[in-house]
Structures are given as structure tokens and as C-alpha cells.
Amino acid sequence: MHPFNFPQPELDETLHSLLIRAHRLSGFSNFRTFTEAILGRPSDGRGWSWRYKKVGRYLDSCKITAWAILQGTLLLPYLMPFMSPEAARLGQNRLDGGHLTGDDGVLPAWHINNSRPLRYCPLCARQQQKRLGISVWLRSHQLDGVNVCWRHAVSLVDVTQHRISPLLPHEFPNQTIRYEFNKFDLWLAKQTRVLLQTSHGPTSSEIIKTTYRAQAARLGYKKTPSIDYFLIASHLLKRFDRRFIERIFGSSDIERVTKMVHRTITASTIGIRPTNHILCIEVLFGEQHNFFLAIRKHTDKDSVEEKKTPEDQRNQLATTLIHKKIFLEVLATHRREVMSELNRNFPLTHQWIVTHALHWSRRRLSNASLN
């Protein structure tokens, strides 16, 4: 029996990258047979529906934690905000091995965001190699339309991955660091990363449509009785440059852009593609945060915006200290089983760690196993 030895994923590391690293720690010489042994069929962790949840048991014996860690290596959280709750449920089922998909544009969106070739930033690779001895593939570099590193403003290098013995970024010959100063490309790299990291839940297309239309009407994009999509498209063409719009929408022709804006705002099937939303959100809401706040208001009409008082902040700090203290105590006695033990005996702390301090807890765990 070959050992399946999974390292802790680095922040923003893809499942593909994690599988490569685990493969190298295993006794398998072939990457495909290695993934077949874990997932039931060969997969490089970049396709759709290859029972990814099976990887969970190697990440943590506690199911909830394992799922949260696995989720952090997938691009699903990036697609989720524009998926309907039904489509999101089907998406989760596919990760469990289910084969049903709805007709909600999930599959095309998944394929677009798992497109080959793979991309890496040579400067990120160099820094990781210095810190970890190897480099890893990052999720935020693989998002649709991203061609520059959000951290370094360095052009991403496109490569075709090897199938039998896949490589890590620093092992490819091209390590040329070329700075990219196009402000729109850099803007998109940062915006897509924010969307990926914020992990919003799914929203029905009806709510998305209502939210966009209410804001467009408020801003005066009105052509009775409807919304003036042509005017929004003209605004979009002024906000960004032609080359950038062509790259994202495939054309900068005003009719075509109007059609894309209409499809995005009315949340029709193509509407799941997050880059389209990111651009429309920019011209209508200024910031993603404002858009998602409006979505929440439309989802729950009775919700009032929370205002944090200094007392709330003090309470929050106290909560953080208490949960972290409990975690560290259980870690000292239970080591690798810390999350299973918390789940059994300190469910509140368990839930708090999974939601607020997952990465922190994994760092503590790897430090503890080193000592």
C-alpha cells in the first residue's frame, strides 16, 4: 500500500499543485495512477467532477475542516457568487462524485476558469522557492482574463503542463521577470482575487437582476420603461480602454458590448462569468463591496446594516482570544486530531476556527508537528 502523504496547502495554492506535491511524497512514479488511486479515476485536479472530496480525508480527519481546506484550493468560491443556490448545490454534489449538472452555465464557467495553459508569476515562484524550497501553483493566477500577478505586477507566464510528471512553476525554463504596467490588467487581477477570497454565497438570478436594475435606475440609466443598456455600455467603454474591453468581451463594438452588459445585468445563462460582472459592478457600484451589500439588502429586505460599536469590537477581540486559546490547548494534547477533538467537545470553537482562523490553525498545526 502506498502512503498518501498530503502537505498542508499554502495560502491560495490550487488543488492541482497540492496533488503534485502529494504525488512526490508518495511511492507512485506516475501522477495519473497516483490520482486514480485517490479519486477513482485519473485527474490533475483541474477538471470538473472528479470526486475531489475524497482528498479531504488526507487533509484532516475532521470532515468539516477538511472540506473547508479543500474549498480553499478550488476555484468554486470564485464562481459561487453568481451561481443560483440550485446550481451551487449541484456544483457541490459534483465534487462529491455526482454526475448531474443543471443548465445554469456552471460547466462552461468552470471550463473557462480551468483553461489550459497554466499560468505562474516567476517572481512569486522565486520567493516561494526561497521560503519553502519549492514553488506552488496559485489560484489567483488561473482566473479567467488574468494575465498579470496582482502582487508584483509581473506578466504571468503561460505553460502547458506535463501529464505524467507535472511540474511546479520554478521548474519551467522560462523564469523571465517582465513587469506589466497596464493599469486595467492589474486592476482586473486585483478585483478577481478579491472576489475569489471573499467567498460570497450563491444568489438567485432574480436577486442579481433586481439589484443591478435598481442601481442602474437610481443612477439615471433609464429609458422608459426599461434600463438603457446602451448608455451603460458607453460608460464602460469610457472607463476602460479599447484593448482591455476587447480582451475581456472579445470585441469593443458598442452593439456587442451592449449585448454583453444586457446579458450580465439580466443574469441570463452566460451571466455566471465573473469577469463580466466585475466590469458591470465597477461602472454601477464602484466597488464589489457595495454590490454585495445591495445583494444582501435585496435578499433580506428586513436586514439593517450592522454598525460596530467599540464595545462590539472589544467583544470580538475577546472571542478571538478565547477560541484561539482553546485551540492551542487542545492542539498541545491532541496534535493532528485537534479539529476532530474540538468538533466533539468544543463545537463553538470548532465552528469559529473553520470560519475565521482556518489558515492560522493550519500554521499552528504544522509548527506543532515540526517541534
Residue 179: what are its φ and ψ, rounded to 5°? Answer: -75, 145
Q: Using only C-alpha atoms, what is the Rg of the chain?
A: 22
Binding mask 79-118 for Zn ion (x = CB under 5 A): ----------------------------------------
Q: Which stretch binds Zn ion (CB under 5 A): 107-115, 146-154, 244-252, 356-364?
A: 146-154
Q: Does 193 bind Zn ion (CB under 5 A)?
A: no
Query: Does residue number 123 form part of the binding site for Zn ion (CB under 5 A)?
Result: yes
Nearer to Zn ion, 64 or 121 (CB): 121
Q: Angle of helix 205-218 relative to helix 288-299, nearest 10 degrees?
A: 120
Query: Rule CB under 5 A: is residue 148 a binding residue for Zn ion?
Result: no
| Cβ burial, residue 347 (10 Å; 0-12/13-18/19+) | exposed
CB of 120 to Zn ion, least distance (A): 8
Q: Is 170 among the residues that bind Zn ion (CB under 5 A)?
A: no
**Which residues make beta-bridge pairs with 350?**
none
Nearer to Zn ion, 119 or 362 (CB): 119
Which of 107, 124, 143, 156 binds Zn ion (CB under 5 A)? It is 124
In b/e form, how buried is each residue of 95-116, taking b as 16+ CB within 10 angstroms? beeeeebeebbbbebbebbbee
Backbone angles phi, psi at 154, to 5 degrees: -105, 140
| Residue matched to cell numbers 475531489 | 52
Q: Is 278 in the site for Zn ion (CB under 5 A)?
A: no
Minimum CB distance to Zn ion, residue 159 (Å): 15
Q: Shortest gap between Cβ of 140 and Zn ion (angstroms)?
A: 9
Which residue of 19, 74, 107, 149 would you call a contact of Zn ion, by CB under 5 A?
149
Compare residues 68 and 149 and give the one whose CB is closer to Zn ion: 149
Question: Is 153 near Zn ion (CB under 5 A)?
Answer: no
> Does residue number 156 form part of the binding site for Zn ion (CB under 5 A)?
no
Can residue 23 be called a binding residue for Zn ion (CB under 5 A)? no
- Nearest approach, Cβ of 148 to Zn ion (angstroms)? 9
Distance CA 309, CA 135 (A): 43
- The secondary element (H helix, E strand) that includes residue 227 is strand 226-227
264 touches 185 (CB < 8 A): no
User: What interhelical angle do 274-285 and 288-299 show, nearest 10?
Assistant: 90
**Nearer residue to Zn ion within complex by CB, 87 or 124:** 124
| H helix or E strand, kind and range, residue 157 | strand 157-159
Are 94 and 54 in contact by the 8 Å Cβ rule? The answer is: no
Asked if 121 touches Zn ion (CB under 5 A), the answer is yes
Using the rule CB under 5 A, is 151 a contact of Zn ion?
A: yes
Q: Residue 263 Cβ, how far from Zn ion at the closest point, in Å?
A: 33
- For residue 148, list its beta bridge partners: 155
Residue 126 CB, nearest approach to Zn ion (Å)? 9
> What does the binding site for Zn ion look like in residue numbers (CB under 5 A)?
121, 123-124, 149, 151-152
